[in-house]
Structure 1
Amino acid sequence: MKNALFILLALLCLALSATAAKEQSIIVNGFGSVQVEPDTANVQLGVECSGKSAQAAQAENARLMKQVMEAVEKNGIAKKKVKTSNFNIWPEVKYEQNQPPKTVGYRCGNQVNITIEDLALISKVIDSGIAAGANNVRGLNFTRQDDKEAKRSALSQAVEAAGEKAQTIAKAAGLKIIGTQSIVEGGARVVYPQENQMRALAGLQADNAETPVSPGLIEITGSVSITYAVE
C-alpha cells in the first residue's frame, strides 16, 4: 500500500514538473512607429472688440466677423467647413483705489474653427482673415483623414519588434520559443504636429508678408505585449 502511494506521489510530481516546464514563458513589449504627411489643417480665427454697451460690442463684432468669414470663403473654403467654436460678451471693469468697481464698456469675442483640406491654402486663409478684421489666431494643427493603414503598419512593426526581442532573450537564457500564448494590443497613438501660435502670428507683423506655415509629419505609434511559450 505504501509502495503504491509512493509511486502515485512520484507520478504526480513528474506530471506537475512537466506542466511547469510547459508553462515557462517570456513576456515582452514591442513598439512600432510610422510617420505620414498630414492632409488636413484646422485653425481658429477670431475677432475681439469693444463697445460702450453689450449691444454695440456685439454689433461691431458681427460686422467684422462677417467680413472674416467672407474672406475665408473666397479662398475656396466651403461654408460647412467653418464652424463657430466660441462666443462671449463680458464687461470691461475699471478698478480704482478706494472706489467701487465701475463698468466702462463691454468686449465681445467670436471665434470660428476652419477646416482646410488643401494645405496650400493655409497661409492665404490666415492672411485674408487677418486683413478682413480677425485679430486672434489659435490652434493651428494638422491631421490626416485616413490613418488606418499607418496604424496597421505601426502595430505590425510592434509585433515584429516584440518577436525579435523575445528571440534575443530566449537565446541568452538557453531557451527555445515554441509558441505564442497571448497578445495584448496596447493601441495606436497619434502625435499630431502643431504650428507654434506665436510663430504663425509673427509672420503677420510685416505688411504684405505671407504667414509661414510648415505642416511637418504626423507620428503614429503602436504597441503590443506578447507572451511566448518557451522550453
Structure 2
Amino acid sequence: MPNRMIIGIAALLLTVAAALGTLFAVTPQLTPSIAEANQPANANAQVAADVNTGIMVSGEGKVNVKPNIAIANIGVDITTASLSDATNQANTKMAAVIEKLKSLGIAEKDIQTTSYNLYPITQQPRTPDGSGTPTITGYRVSNQVRVTIRKIDDLGKILEQAVSAGANSIYGVSFGVDDLAPYQQQARAAAIKDAQDKAAQLAKSANIQLGPVLAISEGTQGPGPVFATNARLSLAQGGEVPVQTGETQIIVNVSVRFGIK
C-alpha cells in the first residue's frame, strides 16, 4: 500500500477518535447541570410552603391608666419701650417664678427652659404710597419653662402661686404617666392572650390541632396627652384651677403565627 494512502487513513482515524473523545467528555457534564437547575426550584417551593404554613392572627391588649403627673408651660411675657427694661423685667419675674416653684416642691430637674424670645415692635409710617421706613416703638421678651408636677393634686395651687410670683402665660397643661413599663407589660400579656384565643377558635373551627408559636411581632401605642384646656380661663377668673385628670389608654398590638400539628 502506498505511503500516502497509509498516512491519509491514519489521519482520518485520529480525527474520528478526537471527535468521539470530545463527545464523551462533554456529555457527562449535561446531567449534573440539569439536576442543579431543578434543585433551586424545589428548594424555593419548600421554603414557600414552610412560610405559608400555620395560622396567622392578631391580638390587641388595652390598659386604662390614671395619669400621675402634670406638665405645664409657664412663662413671662413683657412688652416695654426699652429693650433693657423688657429683658430686666422678664428675667426678674422668671427668676421669682422659678424660686416659687422650687419652694412648692418642684425639683430643679423638672423645670426646663423651652424658649426665650426677643422681638422688636415696629410701626409702619402711614404714607399715601405706603413707603417709609418702619420705626421701632418697643420690645417684647418672652421666657417659657416646661414644668413637670409630680404631686398632681397640687396642680391648681402651683399654677396659682406661679401667677402670683409674676407668670402671665400658662398654656398646654397636660397629664401623663411617669412610668409606662408596668402598664405596657399588662397590655402585652392581654394582647398575647387575645391572639391565642383567636388562634384556638380558628383551629377548632377548621378541625385541626394548634401547634407552637412560630413568630411574634409587636406594635405599641403609647398614651396621648390629656389636655386641661380650661387652665387659662380659670386663672383669669381667679382661684385655683379645677383638676380633672381623666384616664389615658395604653395599647399593644401583636401578630402571632402558630404552627399546625
Normalised by the shorter chain, which TM-score bucket?
Answer: 0.7 to 0.9
User: Structure 1 20/135 Cα, relative in aligned 2: closer, same or farther at 3 Å?
Assistant: same
CA distance in 2, matches of 1:214, 1:179: 46
Instruction: Supply the RMSD in Å over aligned alpha carbons.
Output: 2.4
Q: Which has the higher helix share?
A: 2
Partner amino acid for 1:205?
A
CA distance in 2, matches of 1:114, 1:59: 22
Q: 2:235 aligns with which of 199, 204, 225?
A: 204
CA distance in 1, matches of 2:191, 2:60: 4
User: Structure 1 152/73 Cα, relative in aligned 2: closer, same or farther at 3 Å?
Assistant: same
Structure 1 residues without counterparts, runs of 5 or longer: 1-12
Q: 1:152 aligns with which of 179, 185, 201?
A: 185
CA offset at residue 158 of structure 1? Answer: 0.5
SS of 1:205's partner is helix
Cross-structure match for 1:5: none
User: Structure 1 73/194 Cα, relative in aligned 2: closer, same or farther at 3 Å?
Assistant: same
Partner amino acid for 1:57?
A
Partner amino acid for 2:157?
K
TM-score, L = length of structure 2: 0.73
Task: Please say if 1:61 is aligned against 2:93.
Answer: no
SS of 1:137's partner is strand
CA distance in 2, matches of 1:80, 1:21: 54
Cross-structure match for 2:69: 40
Structure 2 residues without counterparts, runs of 5 or longer: 1-41
CA distance in 1, matches of 2:225, 2:62: 15
CA offset at residue 190 of structure 1? Answer: 1.7
Q: In the alignment, is the contact (CA less than 8 A) between 1:92 and 1:105 conserved in 2?
A: yes
Q: Deviations over 1:77-132 (max 9, x none)?
A: 23343222211111112234413322211100001111211112111111111122
CA offset at residue 139 of structure 1? Answer: 2.5
Cross-structure match for 2:140: 107
Task: Please say if 1:190 is aligned against 2:222.
Answer: yes
Partner amino acid for 2:234?
G
Q: 1:126 aligns with which of 150, 154, 159?
A: 159
Segments ≥4 residues shifted beyond 4 Å: 19-23
